[in-house]
Chains A and B, each alone.
Chain A
Amino acid sequence: MKARLIFVLLVFALAFSSVAAMSHDPIEDWAAGIKEAYGGTEITVAVASHPSIEAFKTMIPRFEELTGITVTLDEMEEGQLSQRRLLEVSAESASYDAMMIAIEWSPQVAQSGYAVPLEPWIESDITPDWFNYEDILQAYRDMFLWEDGMHYGIPFAGETVFMFYREDLLEEHGIAVPTTYAEVMEAAKYFSENVDGVDGISYRARLGWEFTYMWSIFLAPFGGMMVDPETGDVALDSPGTIASLEYVRDLWQYGPVGVESFSFPEAWDAFMLGRAAIMIEASAAAPEVENPDKSLVAGMTGYSKLPAGPAGAYSGVWGWSFAMMDDSQVKEATWAFIAYLTSEGLQEDYLANGGIVSRQSALGDPDLQAANPYYQATLDALGQAADLGAEGLAVVLPSPKWSQVSSIMGTEGGRAFIGEITVEEAVASMQAQVSEVLAD
């Protein structure tokens, strides 16, 4: 009887303690404070269509419920968002409280004063303990670092480039996973010429920024560069740059028919439909490749860091962040919104809803690594991106004029890619035009 009484008391005590613990949920505690101070505020955020935004959309109702802050998302296509930003920077006024900013836009929003530096906000009382800024990979954090030593965006969707390969095909044909670009060329040639219905390689090569995106990955491994880090001079006509463009052009013949017009979805599709043995593409493709509803090669794909060229093995980083506008009248509520959605505390929800990973804690988690076979390749490629940074190089020039530079490289490079002009003519044109742009 006595034992039964003790058991009942214990059950009550346990239930009580768990109820008490529930009422002390750190997220709810933080939100209660925010609600008291900023409840009833309305914020407007400009975003581009992106898998991470879809994840945020599922998380925002709870944020609104907990904090009393109303969020309006103005969602548009990426190009439209870029033009909206340009127009607002040009007009020197912002109609949003926060904006989704890509790495290449960061220098302009920082230099113009359109966005605010975020260090004071990261260190403010509004930032919850479970935000953990340091847990965001440094390579991603530093994408939004400006010359003044301040960061102008909180990254939520980092992206790097690595190599995807068909494990089953390579094994069947006795080909080792390529570790150099020369081996990539050989393997691509082999599959193209010997295996019906399978091309050697897939990648994006559509004229413009997509060509620049792809080509920029091949620059440093062949000794090429956009700007010499030592002299600051444009170096697009260097022998390494020419060699990298020639390599990309030569690799083309082993790609699927029409690869010269492939945007990234088509490059991904070619691989996911089993029509390419190797793909050099963005890490963002990996979740799609592993999704059996969309991909015929889910579970058959291996991932590795990028191969080495004659001058070394390098990758790069790209990504998206939230920036806060200087003109915002409700910065406290806006920062609460950014900190909540991009926090470590909410990372599980974010990833479960299809958000793109950008935190060390997730990429290093053994369970998540087992569930996502590309996490290790992501970490390795980020290491290669750090190596690129250590050389003073980057796949995106940290300059407000990057969009001009990227467009010139993408147009002239794309023309050389299909043989409309020679590689030498292309680099001469790039060198002259980019020098003019950067000199202004």
Chain B
Amino acid sequence: MTRIRQPRRRRPPWLVPALLIIPAFLVVFALAAYSAVWLLQLSMVKLTFGDPFRTAEWVGLENYNWLLFNEFTTFWASLRVTAVYVVGTLVPELVIGFLIALLLNRKMRGNSVFTAALIIPMVLMPSMVGMVGRLYFSPYGLINYFIESLTGIRHNWYGADLALWAAVLVDIWEWTPFFILILLAGLQTLPVEPFEAARVDGASRLQSFVHLTLPLMLPLIMTTLILRLMDVLRLFDVIFVMFGGGPGTSTTTLPLYIYRTTLIQRDVGRGSAASVMLIIIIVSLTVILIKLRDRIRYEA
């Protein structure tokens, strides 16, 4: 009697990847979810940092109400500063970064040395970058020395009008290489055929750039922007060391506002409420940019 061998049931193809991902997913999700719920809870209590948690008093949405509508709140001012800082850093970093990446994409002597040197500002400790920035932009610092030598005018980078722009310039110096490195890597992996076809068809360099390079690079540009946006919105150390949020509120970005409210004014509730709002802003902008990137990719 021959036994008929039952065919082995095939495992669904998603099973192994799912099993491998689940532990990491659970750990990350549990940590993120726990932190988010804890932060949300803190944003609805009145609690002084340094006092035991048992002294916390439930106040509902009062902290949000204070931040958004109280006559003495500087939350809106910090939001405005953050917006200026984000646009002021990301746009030039992207433009300058892309131009240098295009330049480095050509075969030139010393490219590798230059690319390696670009990493230096990014690997420096942010507090050190802030300290160097503070010294360079001081009224008698190197930047003013050059500007005064050329124009005869000494600028007050420590003043309310220019302090934020000094911090923006330091950020551009520090983080433009990030755009250069990623966009250069993208340019080096672009397919050659479309460019050759365009050349055969008589397209100029500018036409090739506008109709081929740019559309092909857009998804990567968007991804790089998303990564930097999340980073810039959380930026703290450089501005803190350079100006501590002042003069006035001229450099008080949202992270500095949160720091001052939570750790210096020791108001855990309002600080947490501001943190929740920062998270909402970061997530919203990121989702919008991801959707935009996906649409661009689809259209491309």
Contacts and interface: CB of A to CB of B under 8 A. Distances in A.
Interface of A: 83, 86-87, 89-90, 92, 108, 205-209, 256-263, 266, 401, 403-404, 407-408, 411-412, 414-415, 417-418, 420, 429, 432-433, 437, 440
A266 B260 contact: no
B159 interface: yes
Tell which of A207, A258, A260, A261 has the most Cβ of chain B within 10 Å: A261
Contact of A404 (B244, B250, B267): B267
B49 A208 contact: no
A266 B138 contact: yes
Q: Which 9 A-B pairs have the closest CB atoms?
A: A207-B246, A258-B158, A261-B158, A420-B248, A260-B247, A86-B50, A257-B139, A258-B139, A429-B72
B265 A408 contact: yes
B247 A261 contact: yes
Given A258-B138, A258-B156, A258-B158, A108 B247 contact: no
A321 B184 CA distance: 56
Interface residues of B, number: 33
B199 interface: no
B201 interface: no
B105 interface: no
A407 B264 contact: yes
Given A92-B52, A258-B138, A407-B264, A418 B248 contact: yes
Contact of A411 (B48, B53, B260, B267): B260
A415 B72 contact: no
Interface in B96-128: none
Contact of B50 (A108, A258, A259): A108
Nearest to B242: A261
B180 interface: no
Contacts of B223: none
Nearest to A405: B265
Contacts of B46: 440
A257 B137 CA distance: 12
A260 B246 contact: yes
Given A258-B156, A258-B157, A90 B248 contact: no
A256 B139 CA distance: 8
7 contacts: A266-B138, A404-B266, A408-B265, A411-B260, A414-B247, A418-B248, A433-B72
B49 A90 contact: yes
Contacts of A420: 160, 248-250
B159 A258 contact: yes
B154 interface: yes
A87 B139 CA distance: 38
Contacts of B244: 206-208, 263
A407 B260 contact: yes
A14 B202 CA distance: 108
A253 B80 CA distance: 28
Contacts of B163: 261
Given A108-B50, A205-B247, 12 more contacts: A86-B266, A90-B50, A207-B244, A208-B264, A258-B138, A258-B157, A261-B159, A263-B244, A401-B266, A407-B260, A418-B160, A437-B265
A89 B154 CA distance: 47
A411 B51 contact: no
B245 interface: yes
B85 interface: no
Interface string B145-168: 000000000101111100100000
Contacts of A414: 246-248
B74 interface: yes
A367 to B, nearest CB: 38
A83 B248 contact: no
Interface string B219-238: 00000000000000000000
Contacts of B175: none
A266 B139 CA distance: 10
A61 to B, nearest CB: 31
B253 to A, nearest CB: 13
A432 B72 CA distance: 9
Nearest to A425: B72
A427 to B, nearest CB: 11
A155 to B, nearest CB: 23
Interface in B40-97: 46, 48-53, 71-72, 74
Contacts of A209: 264
Given A256-B139, A257-B154, A260-B158, A403 B264 contact: yes
Tell which of B52, B158, B246, B260 has the most Cβ of chain A within 10 Å: B246
B218 to A, nearest CB: 40
Contacts of B139: 256-258
Contact of B246 (A83, A261, A407): A261
Contacts of A412: 72
Contacts of B138: 258, 266
B243 interface: yes
A48 to B, nearest CB: 16
B281 interface: no
B214 interface: no
B263 interface: yes
Contacts of B264: 208-209, 403-404, 407
A433 B157 CA distance: 31
Nearest to B161: A418
B247 A403 contact: no
A206 B139 CA distance: 14
B72 to A, nearest CB: 4
Tell which of B46, B163, B247 has the most Cβ of chain A within 10 Å: B247
Given A90-B51, A256-B139, A257-B139, A415 B158 contact: no
A206 B293 CA distance: 42
Contacts of B247: 205, 207, 260-261, 414, 417-418
Nearest to A82: B263
Contact of B260 (A89, A208, A258): A208
B55 to A, nearest CB: 10
